[in-house]
């Protein structure tokens, strides 16, 4: 059975698209797969001068050494608390600000949005020293509260810009209907706008959480022992006299797992949220 020329062309286009997508997938997943496989290699094989992709023997030695050398449970707890609480705080403040700016647009709100964008574009390293001095002056060094405040201040501009796009797709008639029914502005926001915007909020929360979860710079500057996070803990495998690659790969693989699982189960919200923010009625 001969294919119609148009059908044959469509099949070829799909095949080329699949081939390109598969090549890009392999390109991006190869380093991570190599990291995970290294975490299951014997310690001597990880630092071998002739590296191999597949382990000759699968072992948990690196994971055992990681738990022996690091207080990994405490670091994971610190990372989760700082990331989760800063995400909740930044989502609450950022979504309120975005809603107000979207519903009461004026020249002042436009200027505020530009200032917010400018703040978001400032590299973290350029404000690291001032933040270090401020946190030190308030006596919050090596505390989870310091990380929560810093992560929130970094994520709020991001949340505002993300949620502005989502709120643009919601008709203002919803607010007016809620106010006719007796709700105030805050009541309309909490009872009507927030439930409708859940996909957008979930998407923004995921990205905010990942930004905080993966932070190394501020966690390194602001913590030493009590509030130390996993990225800083992983860096301790690298010293001036030694590089423990085996336990380091094990810790890095374990550190990436929560975010990957969370993103996998929340992917429907990511897709619907990004679509909601990209399309206007």
Tens-digit pLDDT profile for residues 216-265: 999 999 998 899 999 998 888 876 567 778 888 899 999 988 888 877 77
Predicted local confidence at residue 280, as pLDDT: 45
* Res 141 pLDDT > 90: yes
Domains and CATH numbers, the chain: 63-278 (1.10.3720.10)
Predicted local confidence at residue 281, as pLDDT: 44
pTM for the full predicted model: 0.82
Predicted local confidence at residue 278, as pLDDT: 45
Predicted local confidence at residue 55, as pLDDT: 86
Predicted local confidence at residue 178, as pLDDT: 73
* Res 182 pLDDT > 60: yes
pLDDT bracket for residue 215 (50, 70, 90): very high
Q: Lowest mean pLDDT of 60-64, 92-96, 274-278, name the range.
A: 274-278
The Cα 56–Cα 42 span in angstroms is: 9
Q: Are 90 and 151 in contact (CB under 8 A)?
A: yes
Region 98-106 average pLDDT:
80
pLDDT bracket for residue 279 (50, 70, 90): very low
The Cα 47–Cα 42 span in angstroms is: 9
Q: Lowest mean pLDDT of 46-55, 120-129, 153-162, name the range.
A: 46-55
- Burial class of residue 151 in the structure, from the number of CB atoms within 10 Å of its CB (0-12 exposed, 13-18 middle, 19+ buried): buried
> Whole-number mean pLDDT of the chain?
83
Predicted local confidence at residue 276, as pLDDT: 54
- How many Å is the maximal CA-CA distance in the chain? 79
- Burial class of residue 54 in the structure, from the number of CB atoms within 10 Å of its CB (0-12 exposed, 13-18 middle, 19+ buried): exposed
Predicted local confidence at residue 271, as pLDDT: 61
The Cα 127–Cα 149 span in angstroms is: 14
The Cα 221–Cα 136 span in angstroms is: 11
């Amino acid at each position: 059975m001969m294919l119609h020329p148009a059908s044959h062309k469509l099949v070829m286009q799909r095949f080329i698209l699949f081939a390109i997508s598969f090549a890009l997938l392999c390109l991006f997943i190869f380093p991570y797969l190599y990291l995970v496989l290294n975490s299951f290699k014997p310690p001597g094989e990880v630092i071998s001068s002739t590296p191999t992709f597949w382990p000759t023997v699968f072992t948990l030695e690196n994971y055992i050494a990681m738990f022996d050398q690091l207080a990994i449970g405490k670091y994971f707890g610190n990372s989760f608390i700082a990331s989760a609480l800063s995400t909740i705080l930044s989502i609450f403040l950022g979504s309120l600000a975005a809603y107000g700016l979207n519903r009461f647009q004026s020249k002042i709100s436009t200027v505020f949005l530009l200032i917010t964008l400018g703040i978001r574009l400032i590299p973290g390293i350029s404000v690291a020293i001032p933040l270090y001095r401020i946190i030190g002056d308030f006596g919050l060094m090596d505390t989870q509260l310091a990380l929560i405040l810093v992560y929130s201040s970094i994520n709020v501009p991001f949340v505002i810009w993300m949620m502005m796009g989502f709120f643009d797709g919601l008709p203002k008639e919803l607010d007016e209907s809620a106010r006719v029914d007796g709700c105030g502005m805050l009541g309309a926001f909490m009872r009507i706008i927030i439930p409708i915007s859940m996909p957008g909020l979930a998407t923004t929360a995921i990205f905010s959480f990942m930004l905080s979860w993966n932070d190394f710079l501020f966690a390194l500057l602001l913590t030493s022992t009590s509030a130390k996070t996993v990225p800083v803990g992983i860096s301790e495998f690298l010293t001036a006299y030694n590089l423990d690659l085996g336990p380091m790969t094990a810790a890095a693989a374990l550190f990436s797992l929560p975010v990957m699982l969370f993103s996998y189960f929340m992917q429907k919200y990511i897709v619907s949220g990004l679509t909601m923010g990209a399309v206007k009625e």
